[in-house]
Structure 1
Amino acid sequence: MLERVSTWPEEAQEELVRSIASIEGKHLGSYRLSDAERNAVQRGLAEMREGKLASDGAVEAVFNRYRT
């Protein structure tokens, strides 16, 4: 199929390049955090350092309360 691409109209070839670039970015590229995501990560790390995370027992208790 790739050998046939050279026979496609230029517009179709450009569309293929855009599609391949999108697929590559999705599967192999680096994800860039938005400012909101970056702030959320920083808050989470700060809370972890401050010991504000729930213990395993507390998390298990919450799950057990809502399991049927």
Structure 2
Amino acid sequence: MNAATRDILRKVETWPEEDQNELAALAREIEARRTGVYVLSDEEKAAIAEARREPFVSDEEMAQFWKRHGVR
């Protein structure tokens, strides 16, 4: 690790949690770009879990929606 990175990481400990979370998100994006693997944050995992609990509409309801809006 280079000196600049070590220095900023020491300073990060004094930052507000919101800023630390922002830095962590940026670091995850860099890591994903380097490795091709994106690791979800706890907040992202929770959002996905919540979305999966929501009911989906049936194919028939979707067909009616598209018809109503002139798509089909």
TM normalised by structure 2 equals: 0.41
Q: Which has the larger radius of gyration?
A: 1
Higher RCO (CA-CA < 8 Å; seq separation 6+)? 2
